[in-house]
Amino acid sequence: MRKHIISVLVENEFGVLSRIASLFSGRGFNIESLTVAETDDATVSSMTIVTTGDDHIIEQITKQLNKLINVIKVVELTEATQMAREMVLLKFASGSGGKRLELLRLVEVYQGRVLELGARSLVVELTGSRDKIEAALKVLAPFGIREMARTGLVALGRNGIK
Protein backbone atom coordinates (compact mmCIF):
# COMPACT_ATOMS: atom_id res chain seq x y z
CA MET A 1 0.00 0.00 0.00
CA ARG A 2 1.88 3.02 -1.27
CA LYS A 3 0.83 6.64 -1.16
CA HIS A 4 -0.09 8.00 -4.53
CA ILE A 5 -0.59 11.53 -5.70
CA ILE A 6 -3.16 12.00 -8.41
CA SER A 7 -3.53 15.30 -10.16
CA VAL A 8 -6.91 15.91 -11.73
CA LEU A 9 -8.06 18.70 -14.01
CA VAL A 10 -11.81 19.20 -13.81
CA GLU A 11 -14.38 21.53 -15.25
CA ASN A 12 -14.93 24.29 -12.75
CA GLU A 13 -18.60 23.53 -12.28
CA PHE A 14 -21.07 23.19 -9.51
CA GLY A 15 -21.12 19.73 -7.96
CA VAL A 16 -17.82 18.46 -9.37
CA LEU A 17 -16.13 18.18 -5.99
CA SER A 18 -19.00 16.13 -4.68
CA ARG A 19 -18.87 13.85 -7.73
CA ILE A 20 -15.24 13.13 -6.98
CA ALA A 21 -15.83 12.71 -3.26
CA SER A 22 -18.77 10.40 -3.82
CA LEU A 23 -16.80 8.34 -6.33
CA PHE A 24 -14.20 7.72 -3.64
CA SER A 25 -16.68 6.95 -0.87
CA GLY A 26 -19.03 4.90 -3.08
CA ARG A 27 -16.24 2.62 -4.26
CA GLY A 28 -14.43 2.39 -0.95
CA PHE A 29 -11.32 4.26 -2.07
CA ASN A 30 -9.27 6.23 0.43
CA ILE A 31 -8.74 9.97 0.37
CA GLU A 32 -5.86 11.08 2.53
CA SER A 33 -6.01 14.66 1.38
CA LEU A 34 -7.63 16.62 -1.37
CA THR A 35 -7.01 20.17 -2.47
CA VAL A 36 -8.86 22.14 -5.12
CA ALA A 37 -8.29 25.50 -6.72
CA GLU A 38 -9.00 27.32 -9.91
CA THR A 39 -6.30 27.27 -12.55
CA ASP A 40 -5.25 30.17 -14.77
CA ASP A 41 -8.24 29.18 -16.90
CA ALA A 42 -11.26 30.06 -14.77
CA THR A 43 -13.34 27.28 -16.33
CA VAL A 44 -10.89 24.65 -15.11
CA SER A 45 -9.95 23.63 -11.58
CA SER A 46 -7.07 21.53 -10.50
CA MET A 47 -7.25 18.95 -7.74
CA THR A 48 -4.51 17.12 -5.99
CA ILE A 49 -5.63 13.93 -4.35
CA VAL A 50 -3.43 11.87 -2.07
CA THR A 51 -4.62 8.31 -1.76
CA THR A 52 -3.37 4.88 -0.80
CA GLY A 53 -3.85 1.51 -2.43
CA ASP A 54 -2.12 -1.23 -4.36
CA ASP A 55 -1.47 -0.84 -8.07
CA HIS A 56 -4.78 -2.44 -8.96
CA ILE A 57 -6.76 0.03 -6.85
CA ILE A 58 -4.82 3.01 -8.14
CA GLU A 59 -5.48 1.86 -11.71
CA GLN A 60 -9.21 1.65 -10.93
CA ILE A 61 -9.19 5.07 -9.27
CA THR A 62 -7.54 6.66 -12.29
CA LYS A 63 -9.92 4.96 -14.72
CA GLN A 64 -12.99 5.78 -12.67
CA LEU A 65 -11.93 9.42 -12.38
CA ASN A 66 -11.42 9.56 -16.12
CA LYS A 67 -14.90 8.19 -16.62
CA LEU A 68 -16.51 11.18 -14.90
CA ILE A 69 -17.86 13.52 -17.53
CA ASN A 70 -16.48 16.65 -15.83
CA VAL A 71 -12.96 15.28 -15.51
CA ILE A 72 -10.67 16.57 -18.23
CA LYS A 73 -7.39 14.95 -17.34
CA VAL A 74 -6.00 12.58 -14.75
CA VAL A 75 -2.30 12.16 -14.10
CA GLU A 76 -0.80 9.89 -11.55
CA LEU A 77 2.34 11.56 -10.28
CA THR A 78 5.11 9.17 -9.36
CA GLU A 79 7.96 10.05 -7.01
CA ALA A 80 10.22 10.81 -9.93
CA THR A 81 7.85 13.00 -11.88
CA GLN A 82 6.30 15.10 -9.19
CA MET A 83 6.95 18.21 -7.19
CA ALA A 84 4.67 18.16 -4.20
CA ARG A 85 4.39 20.64 -1.36
CA GLU A 86 2.26 21.05 1.67
CA MET A 87 1.84 23.96 4.02
CA VAL A 88 1.20 23.76 7.72
CA LEU A 89 0.42 26.49 10.26
CA LEU A 90 1.42 25.84 13.86
CA LYS A 91 0.52 27.71 16.99
CA PHE A 92 2.70 27.32 20.06
CA ALA A 93 2.31 28.61 23.57
CA SER A 94 4.91 31.30 23.43
CA GLY A 95 7.16 29.91 26.13
CA SER A 96 10.04 31.89 27.48
CA GLY A 97 13.76 32.19 27.69
CA GLY A 98 15.97 29.53 26.15
CA LYS A 99 13.13 27.35 25.09
CA ARG A 100 11.66 30.03 22.91
CA LEU A 101 14.99 30.77 21.30
CA GLU A 102 15.51 27.11 20.56
CA LEU A 103 12.11 26.89 18.94
CA LEU A 104 12.83 29.89 16.74
CA ARG A 105 16.15 28.40 15.77
CA LEU A 106 14.52 25.12 14.73
CA VAL A 107 11.88 26.95 12.72
CA GLU A 108 14.71 28.60 10.88
CA VAL A 109 16.39 25.25 10.23
CA TYR A 110 13.19 24.11 8.52
CA GLN A 111 12.97 27.37 6.60
CA GLY A 112 9.75 28.27 8.36
CA ARG A 113 8.41 31.75 8.83
CA VAL A 114 7.13 33.34 11.97
CA LEU A 115 3.72 34.85 11.25
CA GLU A 116 2.93 36.15 14.70
CA LEU A 117 5.05 36.58 17.74
CA GLY A 118 2.88 37.61 20.63
CA ALA A 119 3.28 37.75 24.35
CA ARG A 120 1.33 34.55 24.74
CA SER A 121 1.64 32.70 21.47
CA LEU A 122 3.79 32.07 18.46
CA VAL A 123 2.45 31.18 15.00
CA VAL A 124 4.70 29.56 12.45
CA GLU A 125 4.30 28.67 8.77
CA LEU A 126 6.15 25.73 7.25
CA THR A 127 6.14 24.65 3.63
CA GLY A 128 7.75 21.62 2.12
CA SER A 129 7.54 18.08 0.97
CA ARG A 130 5.51 15.72 3.06
CA ASP A 131 8.68 14.13 4.48
CA LYS A 132 10.05 17.48 5.52
CA ILE A 133 6.79 18.48 7.19
CA GLU A 134 6.59 15.18 9.04
CA ALA A 135 10.20 15.53 10.22
CA ALA A 136 9.62 19.10 11.37
CA LEU A 137 6.49 18.15 13.26
CA LYS A 138 8.38 15.46 15.11
CA VAL A 139 11.08 17.86 16.16
CA LEU A 140 8.67 20.67 17.05
CA ALA A 141 6.10 18.57 18.92
CA PRO A 142 7.93 18.70 22.27
CA PHE A 143 7.46 22.50 22.32
CA GLY A 144 3.73 21.99 22.71
CA ILE A 145 1.72 22.52 19.51
CA ARG A 146 -1.60 24.08 20.58
CA GLU A 147 -3.25 24.22 17.18
CA MET A 148 -2.42 23.07 13.70
CA ALA A 149 -3.84 23.51 10.21
CA ARG A 150 -2.54 21.59 7.17
CA THR A 151 -3.36 22.17 3.53
CA GLY A 152 -2.74 18.68 2.19
CA LEU A 153 -0.40 18.28 -0.76
CA VAL A 154 -0.50 20.25 -3.95
CA ALA A 155 1.55 18.83 -6.77
CA LEU A 156 2.73 19.40 -10.30
CA GLY A 157 4.33 17.03 -12.77
CA ARG A 158 7.88 17.96 -13.60
CA ASN A 159 7.18 18.44 -17.27
CA GLY A 160 3.97 20.19 -16.46
CA ILE A 161 0.58 18.73 -17.29
CA LYS A 162 -1.35 20.40 -19.99
Partner 1 sequence: MKKMLTGAQILLEVLQEQGVEVIFGYPGGAVINLYDHLPDYDCRHFLVRHEQAAVHAADGYARATGKTGVALVTSGPGATNTVTGLATAYMDSIPMVVFSGQVPTPLIGNDAFQEADIVGITRPCTKHNYLVKRVEDLERIINEAFHIANSGRPGPVLIDLPKDVIGGKCAKKKPEKPVLKGYNPNYAGHPGQVQRAMQQIFKAKRPLFYVGGGVILGDAAEALTELARKLRIPVTTTLMGLGAFPEDDPLSLGMLGMHGTYRANMAVTESDVMVAFGARFDDRVTGRIDQFAPGAKIIHVDIDPTSISKNVVVDIPIVGDVGDVLGKMLEVVENSPDEASRCASGHDEWLEKIAYWRDLHKLSYEQDTEEIKPQFVVEKISELTRDLNPIVSTEVGQNQMWAAQFFTFTQPRSWLTSGGLGTMGYGLPAAMGAQVAFPGRLVLDIAGDGSIQMNIQELATVVQYNLPVKVIILNNGYLGMVRQWQELFFDRHYSSTRMNHAPDFVKLAEAYGALGLRAEKPGEVEETLKKAFAHPGPVIVDFKVAAEENVYPMVPAGEAISNMLLV
* Residue ranges in contact with partner 1 by CB under 8 A: 10-11, 14-15, 18-19, 22, 26, 56, 59-60, 63-64, 66-73
Main-chain phi, psi angles of 16, to 5 degrees: -70, -40
Nearer to partner 1, 74 or 136 (CB): 74
Nearer to partner 1, 17 or 89 (CB): 17
Q: From the centroid of its chain, how far is CA 117?
A: 26
Nearer to partner 1, 64 or 129 (CB): 64
What does the angle CA 70 – CA 47 – CA 63 come to, to the nearest 5 degrees?
55
Instruction: Find the shortest distance in angstroms from Cβ 31 to partner 1.
Output: 16
Instruction: Find the shortest distance in angstroms from Cβ 123 to partner 1.
Output: 36
